[in-house]
Chain A
Amino acid sequence: MSDKEQKPTTGLRESATFDINTQMEIRRAAETGIYDIRGFGAKRKLPHFDDLLFLGASMSRYPLEGYREKCNTRVTLGTRFAKKPIVIETPVTIAGMSFGALSANAKEALGRGASAVGTSTTTGDGGMTPEERGQSSKLVYQYLPSRYGMNPDDLRKADAIEVVLGQGAKPGGGGMLLGQKITERVAKMRTLPVGVDQRSACRHPDWTGPDDLAIKIQELREITDWQVPIYIKVGATRTYYDVKLAVKAGADVIVVDGMQGGTAATQEVFIEHVGIPTMAAIPQAVQALQEMGMHRKVQLIVSGGIRNGADVAKCMALGADAVAIGTAALIALGCNHPKWDAEFRKLGSAAGYYDDYHEGKDPAGVTTQDPELMKRLDPVEGGRRLANYLRVLTMEAQTLARACGKNDLRNLEPEDLVALTVEAAAMARVPLAGTSWIPGQGF
């Protein structure tokens, strides 16, 4: 067909406001009358660690030799009050994820992988499973509003206790585990009828503010005879104030989870519209700790969207003592793996896009309680993959630290960083690249 025969058009122009995904969601909502629930974390583009760069050594800085000169990665957590602080060999820990949301094999694999590299893993809303405790040399036991499965025996078996006030994917929201995943074992651990849509409380049942929390933490210390560190985990929102209150309440370690942090099941509107990016939360937390004279005395763990050693190093340069990974760890185990693409497509998704963890049909066997699907994840092989991934994160972070002349990851500092965008410069409080300008801090 010649140009003359073709009717002239302006071409297809997608609306930036009503883009294809937005239109699909409007149609879905109109059809079903219910909000979208999904897993994973925020999918929108956010200011993130890719917007930061390291200033490697040159004339004014002296680098360390890669592979030859030591760059320490060992971190001790819980030095403030605990008789037995946790020593981790790499500052990359595994974030709290529940048995129930994850299969028993996935929990076991997380424990195996973390233990192989000398770091910690964390329980979740479903309590502590024997598989997880058995395979985790360092296990952090979450103390959640729901208190599912909470008992003093498991509390005393833990290497640390994490009092969870919120998580980055849904600060201010409780958890949910839909009936499809409430199998007999999950129901028994949570004292719930099989098949109900379970709602985890968004508030703790027996304390209501930071003054109460201080007493609650003392109770946990008394029950465990002051042996283990007590963490406080918050979703990143009013981080500066939350961290100050957490220190005042008696935390040994504070965990700040940014909005890129994952979830097993939450409303889409919650995941994408509540909280602040991880990068924006870290300087707030560090400022609060420094003002109280507690930076490095109360350790800071940050999480939410950490993918590679550069992200790890950038978090530590901004002042974190360690990081935690969740989504990345699941991907290392096999979550969203392309080999299951045909099955993902049968579920209306595709490998790399799957986020309907709440439906319990995960073809990769990671976020399911289906006994047949679970078998697809070999916990030994999963553990090996996770350990490899953790080693890569650690070596990448060391590479960058050495390039900046640092013989300890915790010697990285904001001065080693610049930002690519004005937004990142303002949030991370480091200069825009090629300038000495930090927005909000004058010229």
Chain B
Amino acid sequence: MKTLDLATTTLRDINQALHDQAAECTEREWRITGAKGDHNLACGLDAALSIDIVGHAGYYCAGMNKKAHVVVHGNAGQGVAENMMSGSVRVKGQASQSAGATAHGGLLVIEGDAGARCGISLKGAEIVVGGSVGHMSCFMAQAGALVVCGDAGDALGDSLYETRIFVKGTVASLGADCIQKEMRPEHIEYLTDLLNRAGINEDASAFKRYGSARNLYNFKVDNVSAY
């Protein structure tokens, strides 16, 4: 394992060292220490690395991640794992707003709570939140899944496309075109597998499922009050 300390190494040098692994992988296990809310840590990775970030990460930690497995041993700021393509990101603490925004693939696990707009414009990634999520989560989300083991804030799934949402606790309110749907055996099977992969010990049958009513997919003047 190679250790890089933010107290003595610049963000640029750290990210460059990690990016260089895409061309020739010389070290798979990395540890970044001294993180005190630094922004853009470990973003743009493109190799199957295992990276531990010790401390709190700022904005866009592991943004656009491909292949790598990143663990934040602390909290993460805005847009953690934004636009992730593959691999995984785990936040041991809490995550700020827009966690997993627009992510296309991979798995984002937040062991604590996530702020507003978790999974906004999600495009295929899977997000599992051990705690609760803030308002407008999964706004305009297109594909993938959001699992909330706690509660969801207002306007969950507003203007939702095809992302699947599972919530164990309460939902403050549903957004436009988001409805509760039947939890069928195939959904329990999928969720059980996802929770297992996320390392979260929950009973899938205790969750409710939400998805798009698909009423707003094509503009109709009769729906104008919903817009």
A residues near B (Cβ < 8 Å) are 32-34, 146-147, 150-152, 155, 178-179, 190-193, 195-197, 199, 201, 205-207, 212, 215-216, 218-219, 222-226
Q: With the chains together, A207 CA to B96 CA distance in Å?
A: 12
* B159 and A199 contacting across the interface, CB-CB below 8 Å: yes
Residues of A contacting B142 with CB < 8 Å?
190-192
Besides A152-B83, A206-B97, A215-B60, 4 new A-B residue pairs in contact (Cβ under 8 A), listed by A number: A32-B221, A151-B104, A152-B66, A225-B15
* B64 and A151 contacting across the interface, CB-CB below 8 Å: yes
User: How many Å from the CB of B174 to the closest CB on chain A?
Assistant: 18
Closest Cβ neighbor of A34 among chain B residues: B221
Contact of A206 among B39, B102, B143, B159 (CB under 8 A): B102
Q: Does B40 make an interface contact (CB < 8 A)?
A: yes
Q: With the chains together, A151 CA to B125 CA distance in Å?
A: 13
Closest Cβ neighbor of A179 among chain B residues: B218
A to B CB contacts below 8 Å, 27 in the list: A34-B219, A34-B221, A147-B83, A147-B102, A147-B121, A147-B123, A152-B46, A152-B66, A179-B217, A191-B104, A193-B161, A196-B161, A197-B217, A197-B219, A205-B82, A205-B117, A205-B121, A206-B78, A206-B102, A206-B117, A206-B120, A207-B78, A215-B59, A222-B12, A222-B40, A222-B44, A225-B15
Q: How large is the interface on B (under 10, 10 to 19, 20 to 34, 35 or more residues)?
A: 35 or more
Instruction: Give the interface SS of chain B, mostly helix, strand, loop or mixed.
Output: loop
* A196 and B64 contacting across the interface, CB-CB below 8 Å: no
Q: Does B124 make an interface contact (CB < 8 A)?
A: yes
Do A223 and B64 contact each other (CB < 8 Å), given the known contacts A151-B83, A196-B161, A215-B39? Answer: yes
Q: Within B43-92, which residues are at the interface with A (CB < 8 Å)?
A: 43-44, 46, 58-60, 63-64, 66, 78-79, 82-83, 85
* A225 and B102 contacting across the interface, CB-CB below 8 Å: no
Contact of A191 among B44, B60, B143 (CB under 8 A): B143
Q: Does B209 make an interface contact (CB < 8 A)?
A: no
Q: With the chains together, A152 CA to B18 CA distance in Å?
A: 15
Tell me which of A33, A152, A193, A222 has the highest count of chain B C-beta atoms within 10 A of its own C-beta. A222
Do A150 and B140 contact each other (CB < 8 Å), given the known contacts A215-B39, A224-B44? Answer: no
Do A150 and B102 contact each other (CB < 8 Å), given the known contacts A192-B142, A222-B12, A222-B44? Answer: yes
Do A196 and B104 contact each other (CB < 8 Å), given the known contacts A219-B39, A222-B12? Answer: no
0/1 string, B88-124, CB within 8 A of A gives 1: 0000000001100110100000000000010011011
* B217 and A193 contacting across the interface, CB-CB below 8 Å: yes
Tell me which of A197, A212, A216 has the highest count of chain B C-beta atoms within 10 A of its own C-beta. A216
Residues of A contacting B121 with CB < 8 Å?
146-147, 201, 205
Closest Cβ neighbor of A196 among chain B residues: B217
* A207 and B79 contacting across the interface, CB-CB below 8 Å: yes
Do A219 and B123 contact each other (CB < 8 Å), given the known contacts A193-B217, A206-B102, A225-B16? Answer: no
Do A222 and B217 contact each other (CB < 8 Å), given the known contacts A199-B140, A201-B140, A205-B121? Answer: no
Q: With the chains together, A357 CA to B59 CA distance in Å?
A: 39
Closest Cβ neighbor of A37 among chain B residues: B219
Q: With the chains together, A224 CA to B22 CA distance in Å?
A: 13
Residues of A contacting B154 with CB < 8 Å?
none
Residues of A contacting B44 with CB < 8 Å?
152, 222-224
